[in-house]
Amino acid sequence: MKAMPTIAAIDTGGTFTDAVRFDGRSLTRAKVPTTPEDPSRGVAQALAQLGGADLLIHGTTTATNALLEGRLAPVVFITTRGMGDVLAIGRQNRDPRDLYALAPRQRNELVPRSHRLEVGERLGPQGQVELALTAGEIEAARQAVAALKPQAVAVCLLHSYANPAHERALADGLRELGIPVVLSSELAPEFREYERSLVTAANAGLMPLLRSYIDALEQRVAPARVVIMHSAGGWLPAALASREPVKLALSGPAGGIAGVRAALDAEGCDSGVAFDVGGTSTDVSLVTREARLRPVTEIAGLPLRTPSLDIHTIGSGGGSLAWLDAAGALQVGPQSAGAKPGPACYGRGGTRATLTDALVVLGRLPGSLKLGGALELNHDLAQRACASLFVGQKGKGPQARATAAAMVRVALAGIERALRRVTVERGIDARGLPLVPFGGAGGLIACELAELLDMKTILVPRDPGLLCALGMLQTPASRDFARTLLLNGADRRCLSKAWRAARELQQRGRSELHASGLRGPFKSTASLDVRYLGQSFELNVPLTTDWRRHFDAAHLREFGDVHSGRGAEIVNVRVCVWAEQRRLISAPKLPRARPQARTWQGAPVFERDDLPLGFRLRGPAIVTELSSCLWLAEGWKLEVKKSGALMVTRQAGPRQGLGSVSGSGLN
């Protein structure tokens, strides 16, 4: 019998690189500092610490950071004559932050006007040729590109989603230059010229950077085979990821959602509200049985037309810096101390107070804790950083503690708003759902967040600080495609046309996954983007014979009304193809003995690996582990479940006394 391959999953975060390895029998964990100057070095160090692997599933922030920081490679953008300013014009909708600004910020055009070329050709919205693309136009474009010397070329011709012939002809003439060419008709064959132009240009700008990064990573971790997590919750072979790097924008957080889904399944929960507090940001999401995908991924204010899990991100994490604005009000983030120098308590030269420093000052991280099993925390440096935040105030003690408490309240307010955005603002009552904290700092503020949201249950998964990496072990290889159809629902042939397009996309997905070395079996789903005639935006419904009934029900659910007598239009067909993935990790073997507690600032401290099944604990108390730490606030109690998760619930009546502890099966 062939041995099961050893699989490692490694997620690069802003402060730490999280890693897990499964060899078919046991799970190995590692957490090492991120190496921002070359993230592949930190990944290789983590993999070596794990003992190597046959397959490496990697979650990377390289694409995200490049977009956020504007570090894209120089590219040339080619479009139809008269459309050269589409990246500058955009949708003309103003950023809410600029509504009252006398000088609104300029739109991020990605490609300067000097590098935007136009060619003489024209297609109609149904793909009909109105002006043919000549050999002379192709040669002129080739010479112009050669003179500009870009690292990649983005081609997005008008209505090419309906007919890719002109884009392909132009690409054939450009490829002899030896630089990558990205075609919108291959990457995003959907209507709406701005969004299609933007995602094509972004992909071209990311391609040289990600190819270089992935090549370096493959060399460092050889002979392990490298695959990369994508934003829609699956992974891509390295070759495909290098070709479509824009799809990696939410690479790491997508693994976390898979980990939360597995934790909810183990406890029989249909849905949960998840939040991941990492080093530089917090990701929040409503996690349901069916993956919640959105067709647009927004990064740095750019609406990129590529599918992603429905994750909302704010710039508030453990490494977020505290600062005073012009009015003297306290702010936390989005600036971050990063991995170097990191929070002051890391002792690596950082002097400015971060959220982690505040949590240290408040006593939620015990003095004996070593982050990742190696990094000791310097409580004196944390005190000094918090005390020095306000000008003219020095020393430590109550002053530093008051500042730390204020910092935590500010951070909580921002995360609370984000959580309400994915629940209350969508008409979802979250009070009956479990709150699922993960990331290095999620468990340190979970009780307070639950109280702010009036939630009574918290589910803390196993290894919460490694959950993104653990989730990657549960995800399959997958490909997501879309194609614009623009079919009137009154046309009797619209459904058959939609099915034909879906089958073509399904076959493309199977072929690409098979060519990447995957044997299958492959599964697929198909859906439609539908709108009433005259509407501007669509709702996604399953591709079935009763698609119209699904659309009316979705419209009623989303907007509170329905127009059953009004015509409807099938705008896009969407397909997801994936390779079946069996569940790798089973419930852990929990200890039987009663755990021993030590004390930190009056609260009992337990190691999570020492907690047996059914063990119960009342707050205030601290539970530590390799990847994270849980602060069990007064008025809350926890119980260890069979899955290894900690079920934390609010106690009725007045809050209990200090650190009441009981053994297995007791209070």
pLDDT attached to residue 583:
58
Q: Is the pLDDT of residue 652 over 70?
A: no
**Does the pLDDT of residue 654 top 50, yes or no?**
no
- Residue 591 is predicted with a pLDDT of 80
Segment 352-359 mean pLDDT:
95
Mean pLDDT of the 528-557 span: 93
Asked whether the predicted pLDDT for residue 134 surpasses 50, the reply is: yes
Mean pLDDT computed over 185-207: 95
Bridge partners for 61 per DSSP = none
- pLDDT beyond 80 at 419: yes
Task: List the structure tokens of 379.
Answer: 């409580």
- Domain boundaries of the chain, sorted by first residue: 68-210, 337-401, 478-579
Per the model's pLDDT, the better-predicted residue between 483 and 392 turns out to be: 483
Judged on CB neighbours under 10 Å (0-12, 13-18, 19+), 406 is middle
- Please report which confidence band the pLDDT of residue 624 belongs to, taking 50, 70 and 90 as the band edges: very high
Q: Residue 29 pLDDT more than 80?
A: yes
What does 55-118 look like in DSSP terms, one character per residue?
EEEEE--HHHHHHHHT-PPPEEEEEETT-TTHHHHTT-PPPGGGTT-SSPPPP--SS-GGGEEE
Query: Over the stretch 298-331, which tens digit does the pLDDT of each residue have?
Result: 887 788 999 889 888 888 888 899 998 888 889 9
| Closest to 183 (Cα-Cα) out of 205, 162, 200, 207 | 200
Q: Do β-strands 27-33 and 55-59 pair in parallel, antiparallel, or remain unpaired?
A: unpaired
Cα–Cα nearest to 625, from 386, 430, 365, 435 = 365
Q: What is the pLDDT of residue 93?
A: 73
Residue 657: pLDDT over 60: no
Handedness of CA 370, 375, 376, 379 (dihedral sign): negative
Asked whether the predicted pLDDT for residue 100 surpasses 90, the reply is no
Of 351, 355, 439, 357, nearest in space to 627 by CA: 439
Q: If we measure between CA atoms, which residue out of 489, 508, 470 comes closest to residue 586? A: 470
Helices (H), 346-441: 355-361, 379-387, 398-421
Q: In the 8-state DSSP scheme, what is residue 345?
A: G
- Contacts with 46 (C-beta within 8 Å, 6 or more apart), sequence order: 10, 17, 18, 19, 30, 31, 32
Residue 73's pLDDT is: 96
The CATH code for residues 68-210 is 3.40.50
Q: pLDDT tens digits for 44-81?
A: 999 999 999 999 999 998 888 888 788 899 999 999 99
Average the pLDDT over 349-375 and give the result. Answer: 89
Mean pLDDT of 615-625: 94
pLDDT of residue 667: 33
Predicted pLDDT at 1: 42
For the cut 50, the answer to whether the pLDDT of residue 160 exceeds it is: yes
For residues 617 and 632, give the distance between their C-alpha atoms in angstroms, rounded to a whole number: 9
The average pLDDT across 9-16 equals 88
CB 506 within 8 A of CB 575: yes
CA distance 623 to 639: 12
Burial class (CB in 10 A: 0-12, 13-18, 19+), 499: middle
- Average pLDDT in the 236-247 region? 93
The rounded radius of gyration (Å) of the Cα atoms in the chain is 26
397 confidence band (pLDDT: 50, 70, 90): very low
Does the structure show a pLDDT above 80 at 479?
yes
pTM of the model: 0.88
| Nearest residue to 40 (alpha-carbon basis) of 205, 212, 249 | 212
pLDDT digits (tens, 9 = 90+) for 555-583: 998 888 899 889 999 999 999 999 876 65
Q: Which range among 213-217, 452-456, 663-667 shows the weakest confidence by mean pLDDT?
A: 663-667
Identify which of 577, 108, 542, 92 has the alpha carbon closest to the alpha carbon of residue 304: 108
Distance between CA 194 and CA 201 in Å, rounded? Answer: 10
Looking at the predicted structure, is the pLDDT value of residue 585 above 70? no
The reply to whether omega before 654 is within 30° of 0 (cis) is no
Confidence at residue 334, expressed as pLDDT on a 0 to 100 scale: 86
Residue 518 pLDDT = 82
Which secondary structure element, helix H or strand E, spans residue 322, and what is its range?
A: strand 320-324
- What SS3 class is residue 324? strand
Query: What is the residue-averaged pLDDT of the chain?
Result: 89
Architecture of the domain made up of 478-579: 2-Layer Sandwich (3.30)
Question: CA 532, CA 269: separation in Å to the nearest integer?
Answer: 35
pLDDT of 666 reads 33
Q: Which amino acid is at 643?
A: S
- Per the CB < 8 A criterion, the answer to whether 630 and 444 are in contact is yes
Please give the pLDDT value at position 97.
67
